[in-house]
Structure 1
């Protein structure tokens, strides 16, 4: 079969992009042809994967996305596929991998006139086209509920996918050696606790909240705590936005690592994952940390936060978010890690089926041909 995958931008550190590549790998392994349409591709490709870069124009994100939608429509007309799978809201999709929350829900809390601005009008129109034509693959029930509040989306038009993290994220037999080597490379002393903030898109992931929590720590705890910021983004604006006293207080306690490929090693080297996201449909890193045995502190606006609670692998801050609640939980967890959280997460990763998303998606694509 011939599959067309549609993804606005590929880079190797985004959760959506990694899902796209894993699904493509599973489809290629079954002998299917996969062509991925993008505006640009930053990173390695897979053997057998055909990448088509489409030209786009426009001054803003919404204009470029609309341009990509038009170029994609033309490309698929010239090179039809058996099934078209989209990872962004685009016209002409047979199946939509719904990694983003419902845009109509996002607009619901804004003034009525806002939806007539070009940006919002464009993205809402693209979502409405997807709802009209595509079968939905949701990452969690919260997403499904959001869409069903705003659209007529009957049960036969969607499914909720199981998780799909890489099996190599589980704690390996040589975890102690990996931890020692990686901590040494990071400059972490034995008496220091490494807190990992991991993810691209620091605004949505809540780096401002993480820095504020770090600055709130008691002096003795802060003196033995290091925050490792890892991701394809710039932390400088978030550090600059801190009050001067807080910025001075955490000086030397923050290390920006940029984007890194050794995530599995970082999960073993750290003592706590801090992920106070504003919103996230899934949050793959939460499950990756859980099965690696790294205790997790996150927010309930992440779709995969429920697995942290189910596993007993950390704590989840309830909505509505309060910085004081995060600060208190952060200090409390640092005083007791690894506690029972680490062993509970490792056990959960061995007992639960958390790795089936790519094959499940390919099964569904084959059924819809």
Structure 2
């Protein structure tokens, strides 16, 4: 598949001040304080993020707001990790809102509970039109950013929300669903994708719904990478070589993900990456080295109940992480891919593949009882 990514250019450098003409000699007033390299890196981080904001791959904000009797994200809300002022301070341009279901959900409640999560997310967006905008396509993500709003993408949702029905997938997509996690069902299990699971992936490609492989088995990941004509996301995965969390990816799968032009979105959680900001930077270094700069992204996982590394407590902290990467020698081009370019490329590719697939292929009417009997 042709790589549809536009070329990313480094932001223009600030022009140096002109050298003053020679004048009368002025005595040196004394010792000068050493420049603070950290402050310089932070300033450069803000400049870079102004042009290439963060596409945050996972947020639990809607469910966190469900617990509050009243909230105002536009002015600020201290009871959660995310509000419009902090999103702006952190230069967040796009936010993926999780529709994952709580543990212990009663059998038969997955579809209804997912619709409730989706409705809640849409309600939160509608209540904050000055700061947020629902985005279904890559173009709408850019439109929201150009209007000074955070583009909210609905998903990932759990695969159980489909209730083994491609018709439910189409209905959820019509309501705005853009990302689905392929794990936790009979057709996407430790054994991998069944024939019905493969048909789900094909229909997702036709609709433009992205596959999220975080938490999926190695067999499911391998088959989805081979089958999907759209690059996949791992919305909450770091490097297993540095931290043996089950949702983190081994180097073998990172290499395959990079070859398939997917994106590993490293989560800012102490459990998966470590207790400090530098630990997150270590994971980002590792994923970039193994999978390539086109394969790495960011996932705040704020308001999800996870503990966060020191220095990355809320959505405003992204400039400090980017400053650390600048100090480690990341180029501005690679950072622009990390924060914005890679996710935008995947969204654009999914839109293109969906338009082409809908011209060639009708909606699938396959049933799990027919394919997996």
Q: TM (normalized to structure 2)?
A: 0.30
- The higher relative CO (CA closer than 8 Å, separation ≥ 6) is in 2
Q: TM (normalized to structure 1)?
A: 0.30
